[in-house]
Amino acid sequence: MKAVILTGGEGTRLRSISGGLPKPMMPLLGAPLLERTVALLRENGFDELCLTLHYHPQVIREHFGDGAAFGVRIQYRAEPTPLGTAGAVRNCRDFIGGDRVLVMSGDSACDFDLRELMDRHQRGVTIALAAQADPLPYGLVLTDRQGRVTGFLEKPAWERVVTDRVSTGIYVLDPDILDRIPRDEPSDFARDIFPKLLAQGVPMHGVVMDGYWCDIGTPQAYYQCNLDALNGLYHLPGGDGSPRRIVPCRDRARLMRAMSEALAEFGADFSDGLTLSDEHGKAHLAPLADRCALALEGDRAAVRRLEALARRLERGLDR
């Protein structure tokens, strides 16, 4: 599968701690953020990548080369003048060809199941959404109960906030969408392209993703992302095959009861926390002693399955 990673940003707000590095090359527990992103894409079956370049492009080119050392094939498209998020992807039209494509910002850290996002794509545009308690710095996406996009609010004031679901800057696009973007002109998906597509009746859906997502655009967010990785909230892609995941909750005993009830019929073992073995592998789930959260460990696919269930049950308990 193919993916485009937008890596041309200067990271102006991070300049005080970046030393002039492109924002996607900021270190995240020993490896550049962009390396973590490439690993995430590889783990999800994306082996053909195109990186858009503008600010200090040689830093990224020299680190990744043709991608062979990272288990992928990488092409580059340079922008002497910034083209914006949509214009940069349009500049990759020859790479995309007739395939649907995943578009991802190189400025954010996440551990989403991107293969699932591709599988849930229907037609037109699919936008990966995340719930944020403080949505003001982001673009809000309004959807109906079926996930169809009904409107956009770009970085609103609190008086205009009507949802906590924000765009993560991760999209799945049909190839014909690229032909609707002006060629060699600056344009932005959130500001210019998506509202126009919505008005034209192009099918657009939002998918709320399970997992971790953080835009590292400020020093505070960057440091918090590193702490989240240390504390297990953010699973670093490219790690070993036995990830440890943390699911925060309001009442760990209550959530464990809900998990136990949901998994009892699948032969779960309750002798030491909760252990489940099935076709996805083996995973262990138990409450943390020092904070209101659950810890999951085991095979990657099984852990992801249990994490998604825990997050869904937690949302249901909050209602």
d(CA 127, CA 142): 11
Q: What CATH number was assigned to the domain covering residues 240-318? A: 3.30.310.50
94 vs 242 pLDDT, higher one: 94
183 vs 12 pLDDT, higher one: 183
Question: What type of residue is 6?
Answer: L
Q: Name the pLDDT band for 280 (thresholds 50, 70, 90).
A: confident
266 pLDDT exceeds 90? no
Question: What type of residue is 126?
Answer: T
- DSSP classification of residue 193: I
Question: What type of residue is 207?
Answer: V
81-90, 128-137, 185-194 — which is least confidently predicted? 128-137
Where do the CATH 3.30.310.50 domains begin and end in the chain? 240-318
pLDDT tens-digit readout, 114-165: 999 999 999 999 999 998 888 888 899 999 999 999 999 988 888 888 899 9
Q: Which CATH superfamily is domain 2-221 in?
A: Spore Coat Polysaccharide Biosynthesis Protein SpsA; Chain A (3.90.550.10)
Answer for the pair 173, 117: CB distance below 8 angstroms, yes or no.
Answer: no
What is the chain's mean pLDDT, rounded? 91
5 pLDDT exceeds 90? yes
CA dihedral in degrees (15, 217, 228, 154; nearest 10)?
170
Answer for the pair 160, 139: CB distance below 8 angstroms, yes or no.
Answer: no
d(CA 287, CA 274): 10
Q: Which residue has the tokens 């249901």?
A: 316
- pLDDT at residue 231, rounded to an integer: 83
Answer for the pair 132, 138: CB distance below 8 angstroms, yes or no.
Answer: yes
Where do the CATH 3.90.550.10 domains begin and end in the chain? 2-221
- pLDDT at residue 19, rounded to an integer: 77
63 pLDDT exceeds 90? yes
- pLDDT at residue 210, rounded to an integer: 86
pLDDT tens-digit readout, 210-221: 889 999 989 999
Alpha helical stretches, state H, the chain: 15-18, 33-43, 57-64, 84-90, 93-96, 114-120, 175-178, 194-199, 219-230, 252-263, 300-318
pLDDT tens-digit readout, 21-35: 899 999 998 899 999
Query: 160 Cβ partners below 8 Å, 6+ apart?
Result: 153
* pTM for this model (two decimals): 0.82
| Phi, psi of 142, deg, nearest 5 | -95, 135
- pLDDT at residue 143, rounded to an integer: 95
Q: What is the 3-state secondary structure (H, E, C) of 149-193?
A: EEEEEECCCHHHCCCCEEEEEEEEECHHHHCCCCCCCCCCHHHHH
- List own/partner pairs for 136-142 with CB under 8 A and 24 or more apart: 136/161, 137/215, 137/217, 138/166, 138/167, 138/215, 139/166, 139/167, 139/190, 140/165, 140/166, 140/167, 141/165, 141/166, 141/167, 141/206
CA dihedral in degrees (230, 116, 170, 145; nearest 10)?
-110
d(CA 226, CA 221): 9
Question: What type of residue is 72?
Answer: V
